[in-house]
């Protein structure tokens, strides 16, 4: 209680001094307000962008390996590659099944974009994915209505399909698509299920092409190959992707090395495929996020530094203005620590109030950016605490020198200062 009794009068005195010069106090806070808002906005933009990429990678499966064929529509480039490599094929799939230890399940993939679709899609044309029934578990796909196709349907290349969330909306709007038919190129398919939303990346991620994973039509692999082979089939690999799901206890790095060795041997060293290891991508993205946060905070903290210099400048001017007041306080018994405490409290109040207003402004800026720019932004408790803590720390640091200068004034000279 004794300590509180010492601080409360100084706190009240500091508040009174700041309110006595409202405009100056507000202008002094502006540097902290904009600095905190800049730090928070940058962190929220970075967190939003990183979360989308990390959610996409996590959706790929941390126990999965993905092989992507690097196909081309350039006939000369295709002919040159074919002299060296036969391309991705079912032979590669069989070699992986026989050689890679700890494979839980595996599916080849045949992918292409239809030339014609009935009903006509509203928006981008959905992409067809020819996969095996086990893709449901490998790809973490969640069927929200209906069902996925069975092994029996896959074995006879049945004309059935499951729609991704965006494909369902593009083709049928809000209507129930189950047991309705769609015409893909010249083949009719019966819709037996609809899938839930999946995370997507807006740009290529380490060999994975940018694609809306919700705008897909899933069909059996055989149906994609025998019923829907497109016009460019002569220049395409037998299959264009392979998904492997490994058992949890399997070392992913070793399995990836085995897959790479198989493909390098069968493709004779041709660079016509990409091996994606989501677990490694996730670890790399986490490291990138930490570096990104440090860089963004460092850049945005320049605004806070400028704000701190502004606080020190104003407080030094305040010391000159209040020299006589300081002399009177010293003459009636105030110690140097009392003077220091008063001025440090004032700078702390400026930093705290400026920091709080900056947080409000930063949250508002993040939402505006999300609304108008279409970027994903996320304001976390950690970013709020970091921005506010840095602002208060800078306020304290830049308030110490003016406080010491005030405390060291000679009481006799201060009383006679005009």
The two counts, helices (H) then strands (E), for the chain are 14, 11
Residue keyed to tokens 């083709």: 171
Residue keyed to tokens 């994915």: 129
Please list the alpha-helical segments (H only) found in 322-335.
323-331
Partners of residue 184 on adjacent β-strands: 117, 187
pLDDT at 242: 92
Which pLDDT band holds residue 236 (cuts at 50, 70, 90)? confident
94 and 213 in a single domain? The answer is yes
Q: What is the pLDDT of residues 126-178, one digit of tens each?
A: 999 999 999 998 888 899 999 999 999 999 999 999 999 999 999 998 899 99
255 and 316 in a single domain? The answer is no
Those residues whose C-beta lies under 8 Å from the C-beta of residue 285, and which sit 6 or more positions away, are 50, 53, 54, 57
Please name which of 82, 81, 50, 88 lies closest in space to residue 66, comparing C-alpha atoms.
88
pLDDT at 54 over 60: yes
pLDDT at 222: 92
- Among residues 271, 306, 328, the one where a domain terminates is 271
Asked if 126 and 182 count as a contact pair (C-beta separation under 8 A), the reply is no
Q: How far apart are the first and last CA of the chain?
A: 38
Which pLDDT band holds residue 1 (cuts at 50, 70, 90)? very low
| pTM: predicted TM-score of the whole model, two decimal places | 0.65
Residue-number span of the structural domain to which 364 is assigned: 2-56+284-415
Partners of residue 162 on adjacent β-strands: 193, 218
323 within some domain: yes
30-39, 273-282, 346-355, 406-415: segment of lowest average pLDDT: 406-415
- Among residues 204, 239, 271, the one where a domain terminates is 271
User: CA-to-CA distance for 37 and 26, rounded, in angstroms?
Assistant: 16
- The most distant pair of C-alpha atoms in the chain lies apart, rounded to whole Å, by 103
- Among residues 271, 304, 328, the one where a domain terminates is 271
User: CA-to-CA distance for 356 and 273, rounded, in angstroms?
Assistant: 52
pLDDT at 83: 80
What sign for the dihedral angle of Cα 118, 121, 127, 133? negative
291 and 259 in a single domain? The answer is no
262 within some domain: yes
241 and 205 in a single domain? The answer is yes
Provide the CB-side half-sphere exposure for 384 (13 A, CA).
12
Mean pLDDT of 63-75: 81
Backbone dihedral region of 180: left (phi > 0), alpha (psi from -120 to 50 degrees) or beta? beta
pLDDT at 415 over 70: no
Q: What is the pLDDT of residues 170-223, one digit of tens each?
A: 999 889 999 999 999 989 999 999 999 887 665 555 556 666 788 999 999 999
Backbone dihedral region of 351: left (phi > 0), alpha (psi from -120 to 50 degrees) or beta? alpha
Residue keyed to tokens 């529509």: 73
168 and 221 in a single domain? The answer is yes
Cβ neighbours, 10 Å, residue 417: 15
Cβ neighbours, 10 Å, residue 104: 15
292 within some domain: yes
Q: What is the pLDDT of residues 345-385, one digit of tens each?
A: 888 888 888 888 888 888 888 888 777 766 677 887 877 88
Backbone dihedral region of 374: left (phi > 0), alpha (psi from -120 to 50 degrees) or beta? left
109 and 171 in a single domain? The answer is yes
Element (H, E) at 108: strand 103-112
Please name which of 284, 362, 359, 390 lies closest in space to residue 45, comparing C-alpha atoms.
362
39-53, 252-266, 342-356: segment of lowest average pLDDT: 39-53
143 and 249 in a single domain? The answer is yes
250 and 387 in a single domain? The answer is no
DSSP string, 195-258: E-----BSS-BTTBPPB-TTSEEEEEHHHHHHT---TTGGGS-S-SEEEEEE-TTS-HHHHHHH
User: CA-to-CA distance for 76 and 89, rounded, in angstroms?
Assistant: 21
Q: What is the DSSP letter of 193?
A: E
84 and 163 in a single domain? The answer is yes
The three-state secondary structure class of 133 is coil
Question: Bigger pLDDT: 264 or 71?
Answer: 264
179 and 237 in a single domain? The answer is yes
User: CA-to-CA distance for 331 and 305, rounded, in angstroms?
Assistant: 36
pLDDT at 2: 47
Domain count, the chain: 2
173 and 27 in a single domain? The answer is no
């Amino acid at each position: 209680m004794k300590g509180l009794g010492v601080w409360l009068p100084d706190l009240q005195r500091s508040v009174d001094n700041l309110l006595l010069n409202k405009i100056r106090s507000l202008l002094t806070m502006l540097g902290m307000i904009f600095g905190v808002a800049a730090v928070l906005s940058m962190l929220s933009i970075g967190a939003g962008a990183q979360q989308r990429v990390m959610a996409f990678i996590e959706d790929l499966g941390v126990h999965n390996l993905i092989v992507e064929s690097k196909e081309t529509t350039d006939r000369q480039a295709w002919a040159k590659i074919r002299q060296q490599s036969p391309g991705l094929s079912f032979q590669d799939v069989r070699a992986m099944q026989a050689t890679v230890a700890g494979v839980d399940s595996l599916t080849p993939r045949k992918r292409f974009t239809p030339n014609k679709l009935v009903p006509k899609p509203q928006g981008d044309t959905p992409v067809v994915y020819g996969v095996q029934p086990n893709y449901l578990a490998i790809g973490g796909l969640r069927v929200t209505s209906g069902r996925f196709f069975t092994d029996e349907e896959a074995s006879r290349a049945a004309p059935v399909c499951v729609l991704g969330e965006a494909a369902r909306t593009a083709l049928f709007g809000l209507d129930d698509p189950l047991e309705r038919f769609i015409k893909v190129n010249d083949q009719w398919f019966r819709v037996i299920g609809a899938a839930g939303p999946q995370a997507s990346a807006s740009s290529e991620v380490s060999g994975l092409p940018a694609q809306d994973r919700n705008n897909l039509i899933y069909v059996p692999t055989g149906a994609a190959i025998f019923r829907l082979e497109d016009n460019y089939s002569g220049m395409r690999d037998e299959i264009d992707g392979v998904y492997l799901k490994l058992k949890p206890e399997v070392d992913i790095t070793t399995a990836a090395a085995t897959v790479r060795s198989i493909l390098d041997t069968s493709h004779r060293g041709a660079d016509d495929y990409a091996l994606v290891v989501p677990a490694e991508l996730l670890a790399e993205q986490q490291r990138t996020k930490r570096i990104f946060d440090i860089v963004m905070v460092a850049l945005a903290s320049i605004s806070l530094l400028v704000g701190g210099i502004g606080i020190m400048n104003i407080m030094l001017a305040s010391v000159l203005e209040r020299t006589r007041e300081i002399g009177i306080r010293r003459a009636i018994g105030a110690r140097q620590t009392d003077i220091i405490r008063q001025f440090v409290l004032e700078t702390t109040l400026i930093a705290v109030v400026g920091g709080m207003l900056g947080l409000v402004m930063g949250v508002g800026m993040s939402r505006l950016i999300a609304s108008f720019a279409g970027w994903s932004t996320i304001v976390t408790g950690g970013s709020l605490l970091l921005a506010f803590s840095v602002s208060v720390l800078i306020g304290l640091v830049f308030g110490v020198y003016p406080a010491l200068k005030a405390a060291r004034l000679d009481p006799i000279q201060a009383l006679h200062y005009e």
